[in-house]
Structure 1
Amino acid sequence: MWNDYSEGKQTYKQLANKYHCSLRTIQRYIQKAPITQLKPPESKYLNLIIDTTFFRREFGVMVFMDTNSKKVVYYQIVKTEKDIYYKVALNRLREKGYVIQSITCDGRRGLLKDFMGTPTQMCQYHQVAIIMRGLRKKHQSQAGKELKEIAITLKNSTKNKFYLNLYDW
């Protein structure tokens, strides 16, 4: 049950249906489960995706995942999202001997610079989200409609193809 919950990303309701018991029973089992330690990645070279997700106003989880191994290599419970938390976490990974080859993050101003020369980029989801915020759902102008179409192709385009689409637009 714990593996289904933690690795299979199952909700309490889905687990209750699968194991034919109440939602409360599932919650009790999960709360009693021992907390497992993160398994260190096999390679010392990391390409990280980093982000913080908030579940309540002052309860968030900052997560660092290695794209090569698809494993979480660091997490921390936080009350706010501050650049210093990310920098401290990166330093802890470096102190353990990991070489951080690249970082993909949500585009916070402080995160996209000053990571000790590590190549850093904004994730495509956040790039598209920023563009979409500036456009209406049903944009009136032809230019707005075209820009929306180009933005949607970002995740499937090569860098050159995307630049060409923008240039042609």
Structure 2
Amino acid sequence: MWFEKWVIHRHTIPQLSLESGYSVRSLKNYFHDYLKQTPTFKIFPSERVNLLIDGTYFNNNLCLVLYRDNTIKFTQLYRLTNGEWFEEIKEDLENLLTLGVQIESITCDGHPAQLKAIRKVCKDVTLQRCVVHIQRMCMIWLRMHPKTLPGIELRRIVSKLHLIDNELKRDYWIVSLIKWHKEYESFINEKSTNIITGRYWYKHKAVRRSFVVIRKALPNMFCYLDNPRIPKSTNGLESFFGHLKGHLNVHRGLSNEHRKNFILWYLHFKNK
């Protein structure tokens, strides 16, 4: 009980000492014994799982990749690694299917390794790109005050992306994007060339990059309109990651191994 409070409720050891009657030293030894172990993690076989996949990074090159059932708010699988890698994500998805998790949809932020693994293992599963991630990245690239008219107009279009909640709004939005492209296609294709080496680069990188990202993601951006069970963003996972990091930061001074096991115990208690 006290260990769970320490992990989940941000209680410090001195606070728990006052509450429990145990000495600080006893609690430290007790908690350290727990942190030497890893909890038993269980997968919950279920139908029509709307999966969220995302990774978050910690110090010392540590990456946590989560596979979370959005409907029941249950972490089906995790991986502690050093990055988001195709082979690992592919293996995780295969394991989920083997263990009886029937995936209806997957929402992800579009990391190349994620997309490649999903298309390899879950060909018939609905893929939803995180709309908030696309919008956020494009707004960063286009900046608060774009210096060109095409940039200003594309930013205005992108700023409405999160408001799309029905097919009519989607269609109007896509039409506005198509009109923008027809008008400014030559602009985003403008190149500068090095006359000595012959190498070229696009002059308006930020505007072009934003449009290309949207164009590639477009087939998988609005699946949530056809099925209300499908989350349109990975915001639920990002919020979960934020809380996890907040709890971990309360307990600074843990060794790398204890930090890893703290994360696993946090996931374990959150699934209870």
Question: Under TM normalisation by the shorter chain, which class is it?
Answer: 0.7 to 0.9
Determine the structure 1 residue equivalent to 2:175.
167
Q: Relative contact order, CA 8 A, sep 6+: which one is greater?
A: 2
Determine the structure 2 residue equivalent to 1:151.
158
1:120 is the counterpart of 2:127: yes
Give TM-score, length-normalised by structure 2: 0.49
Cα distance change on mapping 1:38 and 1:165 into 2, 3 Å: same
1:108 is the counterpart of 2:101: no
Determine the structure 1 residue equivalent to 2:15.
19
Q: Please list the CA deviations of residues 99-127 of structure 1 after superposition, one character each: whole Å capped at 9, or x if unmatched.
A: 11111112023433333321112212321
Determine the structure 1 residue equivalent to 2:201.
none
- Structure 2 counterpart of 1:134, from 141, 166, 171: 141
- Structure 1 counterpart of 2:100, from 97, 100, 106: 97
Letter in 2 for 1:157: I
**Structure 1 gap ranges (5+):** none
Determine the structure 2 residue equivalent to 1:52.
55
Query: What percent identity do the matched residue pairs reach?
Result: 23
Determine the structure 2 residue equivalent to 1:67.
70
| DSSP-derived class of the 1:111 partner | helix
Cα distance change on mapping 1:31 and 1:70 into 2, 3 Å: farther
Structure ID, larger Rg: 2
Deviates more, 1:66-75 or 1:141-150: 141-150
Structure with a larger share of its residues in helix: 2
| DSSP-derived class of the 1:88 partner | helix
RMSD: 3.2
Letter in 1 for 2:73: K
Q: Quote the offset at 1:55 in angstroms.
A: 0.6
Is contact 1:52-1:63 (8 Å) kept? yes
1:71 and 1:124 mapped to 2: Cα distance?
22
| DSSP-derived class of the 1:131 partner | helix
Is contact 2:52-2:108 (8 Å) kept? yes
1:62 and 1:79 mapped to 2: Cα distance?
10
Q: Please list the CA deviations of residues 15-38 of structure 1 after superposition, one character each: whole Å capped at 9, or x if unmatched.
A: 3399377xxx6x947554464333
Q: Quote the offset at 1:39 in angstroms.
A: 4.4
Letter in 1 for 2:140: R
